[in-house]
Structure 1
Amino acid sequence: MGDAAETRRRILRAGTAEFAEHGIAGARVDRIAANAAINKSQIYAYFGSKQALFDAVFDNRVDVDMADVPLDADDLPGYVAALYDMYLGDPELVRLVTWARLERTPIGPLFAHREDDGRAELDAIRDAQKRGTLVDDVAAEDLWSMLVSLAATWAQSAIVHTAHAGESASDHDRRRAALAATARRAFHAI
């Protein structure tokens, strides 16, 4: 990996930690530079602004996480269980999404700036609806949104209980089973 690519990677890693902890407004470029072991001016050279760095951090995380947990419209129970595991194992992602909602996009689609985001997932859902394996009385956009939200029931933004990795395996197994059963009952055509 070249020096430029390595520097960019370090900036993204330090930016991820800083934005997850402090949000966009609270993040400090000086801390990001110190944690990336670079000169502050390099952040501006690579990304242009703190806001553009947040966008790069956010987009990078979304790309990685969507690739790690692809939607299989024929296995929604497995999908929501995998999302639960991802949220549990990646609290930074949930925090970044929360900050993006609080400071950037309080209403409407969170990923509106990402033209292709969700297209493959929505196409897969629509295809399954046409094949009769998923209910067709719920719009694909709404079904996908409900699946993602269902999986986040115990994420950091949860109102009643926030799950954490230190809880017992039986607690996590019980939650995965509940998520899977709910997705199956709600969305699989009978």
Structure 2
Amino acid sequence: MPRDAEATQARLLAAARDEFAAHGIAGSRVDRIAAVAQSNKAQIYHYFGSKDGLFNAVFEAMCRETVDAVPISPDDLPEYAGRLFDSYEQRPWVQRIATWHRLERADSGELVDVVLASNTAKVNAIAEAQARGALPTRFPPHVLLGLVIHLSGFWTANIPEFDALVDGTDTRTRRQVVVDAVAALLT
């Protein structure tokens, strides 16, 4: 019976996502990914070329999913930040993989097209909203976008010693803090 290539690739991507989230690029092992995916290392190299190629595929798929699931709302940036927060809560691996990407790929000079295109469109949407007076101009569009993105990930980017101080803060409260903080930026 022939194997389903798409199903194999999907299993490899899911296993790799979890492996990269836990161990980063350097610490991840293709043999563990293959075992969890019920595949073999040869399939990883066949479909993705290398461990780096597999990471690239995971990162791009994760970014595409986020961009598609959470479109920007320049006329309601606080709620956009809240929806980004929701996305991070539902997919905790996103911030971990993004952190590994920053740590292990920052000096590579490689830019991910989907992220670059998405951020360019978001900056343009913010600039347009600022031009028509729907958003304040205190921050340039790219800075405002960066602040919104970072505030939306505030709760998932903390060190354990800070988390210990706010232990017990429920998800609804954390989301509201994000929304309120972005709203404060816009006053």
Does the 8 A contact of 2:25 with 2:104 survive in 1?
Answer: yes
Following superposition of structure 1 onto structure 2, how do residues 1-190 of structure 1 map, counting pairs within 5 Å? Answer: 3-105=4-106, 112-114=111-113, 115-155=116-156, 157-159=157-159, 160-161=162-163, 171-187=170-186
Does the 8 A contact of 1:101 with 1:107 survive in 2?
Answer: no
Counterpart AA for 2:133: G
Does the 8 A contact of 2:67 with 2:118 survive in 1?
Answer: no
After superposition, the Cα gap between the structure-2 partners of 1:173 and 1:107, relative to the gap in structure 1 and judged at 3 Å, is: farther
Distance 2:95 2:108 in 1: 17
**Helix, strand or coil at the partner of 1:137:** coil
Counterpart AA for 1:161: D
Q: Name the structure where helix makes up a greater proportion of residues.
A: 2
TM-superposed deviation, 1:177: 2.3
Distance 2:40 2:165 in 1: 38
**Helix, strand or coil at the partner of 2:178:** helix
Distance 1:182 1:63 in 2: 26
Q: Return the TM-score normalized by structure 1.
A: 0.86
The Cα offsets for residues 24-69 of structure 1, whole Å up to 9 and x where unpaired, read as 0011011111111112111101000000100100010011012111
> Gapped runs of 5+ residues in structure 1?
none
Distance 1:7 1:34 in 2: 12
TM-superposed deviation, 1:176: 2.2
TM-superposed deviation, 1:175: 2.5
Does the 8 A contact of 1:33 with 1:40 survive in 2?
Answer: yes
Cα RMSD for the two superposed structures: 2.4
The Cα offsets for residues 57-95 of structure 1, whole Å up to 9 and x where unpaired, read as 001001101211111001111111111122222111111
Does the 8 A contact of 1:81 with 1:176 survive in 2?
Answer: yes
Counterpart AA for 2:58: V
Length, aligned pairs only: 181
**Helix, strand or coil at the partner of 2:163:** coil
Distance 1:7 1:79 in 2: 34
Counterpart AA for 2:163: H
**Helix, strand or coil at the partner of 2:118:** coil
Does the 8 A contact of 1:88 with 1:163 survive in 2?
Answer: no
**Helix, strand or coil at the partner of 2:74:** coil
Distance 1:70 1:102 in 2: 26
